[in-house]
Structure 1
Amino acid sequence: MAGLQVFRVSDGDVRRVEGDTVELERHLQALVEANMEEMLGGVRFLASEYSTGPVHRGRIDSLGLDEDGSPVLIEYKRQRSESVLAQGLFYLSWLVENRAEFEALVEQRLGAEAAEQVDWSNPRVVCIAADFTRYDLVAAGMSHHRIDMVVYRRYGDDLVTLELAASVAGGCGALPGRRTELARPVAASRRTVTDVLAQASGEVRGLYEELDARLLDLGEGHAVPLQHYVAYRRRRNFACVRVLAQAQALVVFLRVDPTTVQLVPGWTRDVRRIGHLGTGELEVRIGSVEDLDRSMALLRTSYAAAA
């Protein structure tokens, strides 16, 4: 049994609903752009058909900014024969070379504070199509860029599905703790979360490995290394992990309402009104495996909330 199947249930009878693609790419694009934050899990819409200028001579279908402050470009595929992935990477090369222009766009649409917080460590390409060839999926897996391959189908007049066919985390280097070599020292002002982990003590790296394994074992989530933290995502972030190397601890921000839990000083904290790097309203500090054990219920709650 392959692919997503949809059934309509009525009085105990089940009938399969046949899927179809929207007639024109532009109709799908308009739908996504008008509902981008809901349909793409926290991505805020910036621009449609954005021109890349007279030299590059292209138009990016849609531009957005995700909940981590990462630039997002979205490309839609009309026909199976088109290489939407190659097109997306072509525009990504322009995007990273024109950061000031993108940040000016963010400031115009979302304000100066959002523009100051744009995170260029792992910009994201989202390819949306009725289907992908096996060559597309293998090529995405071989890329070191952050890529989401999304399949859409329409069922009747009022139901549209978006299914993640493949997702590549990309990022600014592999994470220590996953059998990789440690990175060379980097200037403090340019250090990413990957660099901090690489230079942390063995105890902290071991604790991160255990936390990483447990977060990924919760289900369909995947890890995305960013400038200041590692984001663990389903449709949205369910955990953002920062490394406090000097404090020998990890800080995790969760999608959990702090009013629903009993806060414990030194372990859990309400950060709704406190500026912090990462998404989530509840801060959990983990300094030992025992802390991790007692945090599992909170991790599961946040995972469920990010569906």
Structure 2
Amino acid sequence: MKLFKLNKTNLNEVEQIPFKLEKDIQSLVEVNVESVFNLKFIQSELSVDKYRIDTLCFDEENNSFVIIEYKKGKSYSVIDQGYTYLQLLLNNKSDFLLVLSQHFNKVLRMEDIDWSQSRIIFVSPSFNSYQKDSVNFKGLPFELWEIKRYSNDTVVLNEHRSNSKESIETLNPTTNSTISQVSKEVKVYTEDEHTSKMNKTILESWIELKEELLELGGVEFVPKRHYMGLNFEGTNVCYINFRKSHILIDILGGTIYPDKSKSRNFLTLEDHKNFTSKRSRILNSGGNQISYRIKFDSNSDIDYVMLLIKQSYKSKN
């Protein structure tokens, strides 16, 4: 990819500035992990057993741990390291729970964490074809992000996506393998698993609404355990919960922190028809997450629902 700066009618190429050290990437990501990945930074260089984790984060939307690893070289196996670190997390739950409890200064229980949503993020200036192919399976709890830095103070993060419909478990039938052990507890969900519970009428309404949502541009649907998120550039616009005869849509307003400050681009929804109900959820960090719930069914006004959702979408632009 070439990057240019427009100077009137001339294009001046912007030079790439390579990262000298993995630590340079780590420091940059850790300071900005909330805006980049929508995660809470917990601890750097955490030692557990005989391993050292680069960055430990927490996903407050899913109450799950996220481990971030940084790489500059290409002589390592993403798949092996990813499963090893997930196994480390699952085999040492009490250690991770203690670190999290100390960070939030509150007593947390095992059931407060959704261990099934644990995942690993790898960040590197580049990944070779072998590394990309090794994670080209559906349902893997890994993310590969390439990071580039340029001379005009621009940083670009690009995620490598899997396009395979094959599960890695079909290639490794050994019941006591690391992959099998992790796969018993960590799960990546699909849209079909959510929509399968719907009756035909609401399913048809969902297909119509989904087409409208895709027209927003730059959005993707990210299935999680309890909901499916509508994301714009990694930031949730709304949560979508599927029921047999209706859909619950929670439009995200933002978070009010304990010091009364608000998250960036905090949204107060304009709803002149009073179609939504305001909701709040206390996060482990102490923040109060505000959302606006829509009960969507086959009789709902899709145009008005889209008008409401677009307010959150535009606030993320």
Shorter-normalised TM range: 0.7 to 0.9
**Aligned twin of 1:35:** 32
Tell me the percent identity: 26
- Name the CA distance, whole Å, in 2 between partners of 1:305 and 1:258: 7
1:306 aligns with 2:306: no
Structure 1 residue 254: Cα displacement = 1.8
- String of CA shifts for 1:225-261, please: whole Å, max 9, x gaps: 223211222321112111344xx22111123566451
1:9 aligns with 2:6: yes
CA contact (8 A) 1:129 1:150 kept: yes
- Name the CA distance, whole Å, in 2 between partners of 1:28 and 1:6: 20
1:110 aligns with 2:126: no
- Name the CA distance, whole Å, in 2 between partners of 1:171 and 1:218: 29
Give the CA RMSD over aligned residues. 3.1
**Aligned twin of 2:147:** 152
Structure 1 residue 74: Cα displacement = 0.7
Pair 1:260–1:199, CA change in 2 (3 A):
closer
- Name the CA distance, whole Å, in 2 between partners of 1:276 and 1:283: 16
Pair 1:216–1:157, CA change in 2 (3 A):
closer
**Aligned twin of 1:225:** 223
**Aligned twin of 1:78:** 72
Where 1:142 maps in the other structure, the secondary structure is: coil
- String of CA shifts for 1:2-37, please: whole Å, max 9, x gaps: x3x322233443211111321000111122112211
CA contact (8 A) 1:235 1:306 kept: no
CA contact (8 A) 1:230 1:242 kept: yes
- String of CA shifts for 1:26-63, please: whole Å, max 9, x gaps: 111122112211232x211011122220xxx2212111
Where 1:37 maps in the other structure, the secondary structure is: helix
Name the amino acid aligned to 1:175: E
**Aligned twin of 2:260:** none
Note the 1:36-75 alignment, pairs <5 A: 36-40=33-37, 42-53=38-49, 57-68=50-61, 69-75=63-69
Pair 1:297–1:85, CA change in 2 (3 A):
farther
Structure 1 residue 159: Cα displacement = 3.0
Pair 1:305–1:119, CA change in 2 (3 A):
farther
- Name the CA distance, whole Å, in 2 between partners of 1:23 and 1:236: 29
Structure 1 residue 154: Cα displacement = 1.4
- Name the CA distance, whole Å, in 2 between partners of 1:146 and 1:217: 28
Where 2:69 maps in the other structure, the secondary structure is: strand
**Aligned twin of 1:241:** 240
CA contact (8 A) 2:57 2:66 kept: yes
Where 2:53 maps in the other structure, the secondary structure is: strand
Structure 1 residue 213: Cα displacement = 4.4
- Return 5+ residue gaps in structure 2 as ranges: 165-185, 254-265
Where 2:19 maps in the other structure, the secondary structure is: coil
1:135 aligns with 2:130: yes
Where 2:116 maps in the other structure, the secondary structure is: coil
CA contact (8 A) 2:251 2:309 kept: yes
CA contact (8 A) 2:45 2:54 kept: yes
Structure 1 residue 147: Cα displacement = 2.6
Note the 1:164-179 alignment, pairs <5 A: 164-166=159-161, 171-176=187-192
CA contact (8 A) 2:267 2:312 kept: no
- Give the TM-score, by structure 1 length: 0.77
- Return 5+ residue gaps in structure 1 as ranges: 177-193
Structure 1 residue 114: Cα displacement = 7.4
CA contact (8 A) 1:62 1:74 kept: yes
Pair 1:46–1:71, CA change in 2 (3 A):
same
- Name the CA distance, whole Å, in 1 between partners of 2:289 and 2:211: 20
Name the amino acid aligned to 2:310: R
Name the amino acid aligned to 1:48: S
Query: 2:93 aligned to 96, 99, 103, which one?
Result: 99
**Aligned twin of 2:23:** 26
Equivalent pairs, count: 277
- Name the CA distance, whole Å, in 2 between partners of 1:171 and 1:263: 40
Where 1:112 maps in the other structure, the secondary structure is: coil
- Name the CA distance, whole Å, in 1 between partners of 2:108 and 2:243: 25
Name the amino acid aligned to 1:235: G
Structure 1 residue 209: Cα displacement = 4.0
Name the amino acid aligned to 1:291: D
- Name the CA distance, whole Å, in 1 between partners of 2:202 and 2:291: 24
- String of CA shifts for 1:145-164, please: whole Å, max 9, x gaps: 23321111111273322222
Pair 1:209–1:73, CA change in 2 (3 A):
farther
Query: 1:87 aligned to 81, 87, 101, which one?
Result: 81
